[in-house]
Structure 1
Amino acid sequence: MTRQINAKPHVVIVGGGLSGLTTAFYLQRAIADIQLSILESAPQIGGVIQTEQMDGYLVEHGADMFATQPGDAFQLCQDLGIEEELLVPNVEGRGAMIVRGDQLHPVPEGFVLMRPTRTASILKTPLLSLSGKMRLLGERWIATRKETTDESVADFTRRRLGQETLDRIVQPLVGGIYTADHEQLSMAATMPTFVNMERQHTSLAAATAARQRRSEDSPERNSSGARYSQFRGFPKGMSSWLQTIADRLPKDAMRLQTSVRSVTPTATEGHDQRWDVETSEGKLPQADAVVLATPAAAAAKLCAPFASSIAEPLSSLKTASSVITIIAAANKDIARLPKTFGFVVPAAESKSILACSFANHKFAGRCPEDTTLMRIFMGGALRTDLLERTDAELLALIREELGTWIGWNGKAIWTKAVRWNNAMPQYHVGHLDRVGKIESGLAAYPTMALAGNSLHGVGIAPVIRTAKQAAARIAASLAVDSESGVPKP
């Protein structure tokens, strides 16, 4: 018996964060007449993207900007018609610094995460000893790895660039992105570009030379280590973006403070599946498709009763927690305020702070004049012990360390701690194999899709890409002809 498609298909989306809202937006574009139910357990949309406005301050609790490359996030802004509203980060202060001892030092000019592009900057940097510099610059003569199996970021960097470059430059830069244990973080899942450089050119140095011959290393990237001109923010903060998406959806689609207790397929496999969805508010009308736009653990729990082939590999994915302490301080109380966007701290320093960013250096108007808005990141996979500390205890550690590095006297206009528990996926070695198992399991459930940051990237753009792919998958499954069983043209 072939499935009869409802004239107005009902799609349930579990999760009202960026991935859930984006999935709904693109489903609505793909299917003009659709019933959407977006279920969010929290009292507000947004997930880990939250903006707070208070007394002249614009405070981001999570991400404060997004990269325009890859282009999925910027494309979403274009599809929403808001690309002209976007903010470009300030030109002055672009760049980051790294702690060594009691001082902050710039990331060497042209150092692109784990690829130096300027020999002179490596020779000049105080971040490395002479032997560390020679080991780094000798990378082109290091033998190419013959094995094609996955390896950790630490193993790759140690092998190609040396222990000191790993400890003093790569680990803090990577830690600032992933809050991860570099000894477990997968190269294949997080930095495949560098893996391919070694395989195709025998070394990162040879790959860099080839890129420079093709003029692929931009002057800005070479001078700052990151292309900040390719980032964008919003005048009213990141939450305004999500609210814009929500405003384009049917007003009755969003159901806040509604947790999902179960999703159950009505058929064992194929396009005959519909879904019974039980929530804290009762049972929903039967759904033609479901999208789980949730963290991996939540998706695994929902899938466990009917699809162990999906739930078990989902359950094996690890996460990390973090604390962001936000501090507003008068400039006069910071003796050596850096002009950069922020700094990162190597794990080798054995300190409490993972990274610190200056919100008002990135975008003007984030706080009153003569004040600085700092966001201090702590915890992550390497400092889980800090998550047990109280907000006051963490603030005491911050006062001591920032006093050393930037001369802050500890006086604050106000402080706020934001805790994100198990919010950061950890792409451990073998991650892509686990993803492959999850996607193989999903093949039996064409009317179910996953979206979010658990599988294919932790950044804003990769998350949006998963949402677009989820929408396309569901739209295709709902376009199955009831007679032939094949997608309608």
Structure 2
Amino acid sequence: MTTAVIIGGGISGLSSAYYLQKSARFSKILLLEASHRIGGWMKTEQMDGGAKFELGPRSLRASGKGSGFNTLCLIEELGLSDQTIHVARSAPAAINRFIYANGKLNMIPNRFLSFFKTIPPFSQPMFLYLLKDMMSKTPTDEADETIYDFITRNMHSDLGTYAVDPMCRGIFAGDSRQLSLQSCLPVLKEAEKLGDGSLFRGIMKKSKEPYVHSKECALFKRTRKERWATFSFKNGLQTLSDTVKDAVVSHPEVELCVNSPCESVSFSNGKAEVTVNGEKIVADHVVSSIYADDLAKLLPQNLEQLQNDLSMIPAVNTVVVVMEFDGEVMPPTVGFGHLLPSLEDKSLLGVIYDSCTFPEHDRTDKPSSRYTVMMGGAWYDHLTEVVPSMTEDALGRYAVSALKKQLNISEDPSMVHVEKLHNSIPQYLVGHEEKLQRISAVIEIEELPLSLVGSSYRGVSVHDCIDNARLEMEKITHMDLM
């Protein structure tokens, strides 16, 4: 009997099990989850009255390339196409995005004429930043650099401070002055090369490149026809992880074990020995989907180099505060939400206008308005300074006070829920790719039956986690699993 052990029951571990059971490579697949629930950070909470709140990832981009296309194919395979809800590209919730800077909301330029006007907090019209970029003649060398330095060098420090800084806080809960361009946003470096030094020229060229899909996907065609920007599901994003779980456990070769923390992993003679709840399991292959540093703590001392490199991938703690107001307590302008540059408020990352993006998730018994406040991240230490107790009650009060001030809301919310997320988003700092190369080299040289998936390595988005799991399982099984 050939056995595979998958450590971690988040979307990466679930996806690994889903793709692995498509082949006949293993006669037994064990999926180990340390906690009592499956799904990891993907968690939808349904409150009284039917309102649904996302306590982790909240929506998916309707991308037709690469990992986004793969997710759409998976959703179709799972029979979830009719459960999707979406935001159209033309909707205010897709078009209108804001930066809260200098004590007020500022809309990010989103129409042609707005690119020729000076719109706060920027000091020049947007077209002048683009003009500077287009005058660049040659791309820089291959050295990695921070996202902030790249944008500042190509365009202007304004964009670094008021666009890229808050964007990285919203996506990675991280500091653009430390995050690696090569690992976080490789498409920008590729575009600079393609545009002979100009980021804008490269993006224009890249947008015209044809993309050939490996299979037919009716859901993908629907997203193009209806011009989706982002999407979720009628019952929230957890629908996806729940359905993958159901698909996985329906196969007799898969065994799902909750409350089963992995205690150690060692390797000998081409096999792995995994200790779970004091029991030793011999496996032909191990797939780790847990945070890199958590895996490092499970490995034996004879793999010290691998331990060190895994432990050098940091992650940040975040706090998500969701709240509901009675009635239509709406923002000044309907939109997706607003982000804050770190110079405005280090502890508070941004606010999502949930009722504007997915009103389908509002309560059904009476009018209401939902918001999400995101805090901490790379500035978690600052959050502990402004909210010393770090209790849920204190964090909730701080988030409500900030939201009411920034959106000029006088009412108090009828419901507040606080979720603390420990080591929730790995940070790809400058030099991240070099760490990954060293990690891969050790696994290859030592011939370890080990695969690494999850957000610690090559992408933190749900799309990335699912697709990277598929790609790693294809390496194990030598099959095309899409």
TM-score normalised by L of structure 1: 0.84
Q: CA shift at 1:424, angstroms?
A: 0.5
Query: Which residue is equivalent to 1:314?
Result: 310
CA distance in 1, matches of 2:62, 2:301: 39
- For 1:91-240, what aligned pairs fall within 5 Å after superposition? 91-95=91-95, 96-109=97-110, 118=112, 120-130=114-124, 134-135=128-129, 137-142=131-136, 144-201=138-195, 202-208=197-203, 210=205, 229-240=228-239
**Using a 3 Å threshold, how does the CA distance of structure 1 residues 335 and 238 change in structure 2: closer, same or farther?**
closer
- Deviation digits for residues 235-272 of structure 1, max 9, x if unmatched? 111222111111122367111111111122231xxxxx
Q: Tell me, yes or no, if structure 1 residue 385 matches structure 2 residue 379.
A: no
CA distance in 2, matches of 1:336, 1:10: 53
| Aligned-partner residue type, residue 356 of structure 1 | V
Range 78-87 or range 436-445, more displaced? 78-87
Query: Which residue is equivalent to 1:57?
Result: 51
Residue 386 of structure 1: SS of its match in structure 2? helix
Residue 31 of structure 1: SS of its match in structure 2? coil
The one of 72, 75, 78 equivalent to 1:74 is: 72
Query: Which residue is equivalent to 1:447?
Result: 449
Q: Tell me, yes or no, if structure 1 residue 345 matches structure 2 residue 340.
A: yes
Q: CA shift at 1:68, angstroms?
A: 3.7
CA distance in 2, matches of 1:327, 1:295: 29
Q: CA shift at 1:61, angstroms?
A: 0.7
The one of 290, 293, 310 equivalent to 1:294 is: 290
Does the CA-based 8 Å contact 1:324-1:375 persist in structure 2?
A: yes
Q: CA shift at 1:146, angstroms?
A: 3.3
Query: Which residue is equivalent to 2:324?
Result: 328
Q: CA shift at 1:104, angstroms?
A: 1.5
- Deviation digits for residues 411-451 of structure 1, max 9, x if unmatched? 11110110111111100011111111111112133521111
Q: CA shift at 1:131, angstroms?
A: 8.2
Kindly tell me the number of residue pairs found equivalent between the two proteins. 446
- Deviation digits for residues 101-145 of structure 1, max 9, x if unmatched? 2321222116xxxxxxx5742524222123887455422234645
Does the CA-based 8 Å contact 2:93-2:356 persist in structure 1?
A: yes
CA distance in 2, matches of 1:310, 1:68: 36
Query: Which residue is equivalent to 2:220?
Result: none
Stretches of structure 2 lacking an aligned partner (at least 5 in a row):
212-225
Q: Tell me, yes or no, if structure 1 residue 372 matches structure 2 residue 369.
A: yes
Query: Which residue is equivalent to 1:40?
Result: 33
**Using a 3 Å threshold, how does the CA distance of structure 1 residues 393 and 77 change in structure 2: closer, same or farther?**
same
Q: CA shift at 1:300, angstroms?
A: 1.3
**Using a 3 Å threshold, how does the CA distance of structure 1 residues 429 and 437 change in structure 2: closer, same or farther?**
same
Residue 41 of structure 2: SS of its match in structure 1? coil
Does the CA-based 8 Å contact 2:262-2:276 persist in structure 1?
A: yes
Q: CA shift at 1:470, angstroms?
A: 2.6
Q: CA shift at 1:33, angstroms?
A: 6.3
Query: Which residue is equivalent to 1:474?
Result: 476
Q: CA shift at 1:196, angstroms?
A: 2.0
- Deviation digits for residues 194-243 of structure 1, max 9, x if unmatched? 11222232212333554678899xxxxxxxxxx98142211111222111
Does the CA-based 8 Å contact 2:99-2:340 persist in structure 1?
A: yes
Identity percentage over the alignment? Answer: 23
| Aligned-partner residue type, residue 458 of structure 1 | V
CA distance in 2, matches of 1:22, 1:181: 29
Q: CA shift at 1:32, angstroms?
A: 7.5
Does the CA-based 8 Å contact 1:304-1:312 persist in structure 2?
A: no
Residue 138 of structure 1: SS of its match in structure 2? helix
| Aligned-partner residue type, residue 303 of structure 1 | L
Query: Which residue is equivalent to 1:458?
Result: 460
- Deviation digits for residues 130-182 of structure 1, max 9, x if unmatched? 38874554222346453210000111111112111211122112211011111
> Would you identify which runs of 4 or more consecutive aligned residues in structure 1 move more than 6 Å?
212-216
CA distance in 1, matches of 2:173, 2:26: 42
- The root-mean-square deviation of aligned C-alpha atoms, in Å, is 2.6
Does the CA-based 8 Å contact 1:331-1:337 persist in structure 2?
A: no
**Using a 3 Å threshold, how does the CA distance of structure 1 residues 352 and 32 change in structure 2: closer, same or farther?**
closer
- For 1:397-436, what aligned pairs fall within 5 Å after superposition? 397-436=398-437
**Using a 3 Å threshold, how does the CA distance of structure 1 residues 335 and 365 change in structure 2: closer, same or farther?**
closer
Residue 126 of structure 1: SS of its match in structure 2? coil
Q: Tell me, yes or no, if structure 1 residue 247 matches structure 2 residue 242.
A: no
**Using a 3 Å threshold, how does the CA distance of structure 1 residues 394 and 473 change in structure 2: closer, same or farther?**
same
- Deviation digits for residues 272-312 of structure 1, max 9, x if unmatched? x122221115223x222111111111111223434234222
Query: Which residue is equivalent to 2:84?
Result: 86
Q: CA shift at 1:391, angstroms?
A: 2.8
| Aligned-partner residue type, residue 77 of structure 1 | I
Q: CA shift at 1:62, angstroms?
A: 0.4
CA distance in 2, matches of 1:265, 1:336: 56
CA distance in 1, matches of 2:246, 2:357: 28
CA distance in 1, matches of 2:153, 2:113: 19
**Using a 3 Å threshold, how does the CA distance of structure 1 residues 335 and 473 change in structure 2: closer, same or farther?**
closer
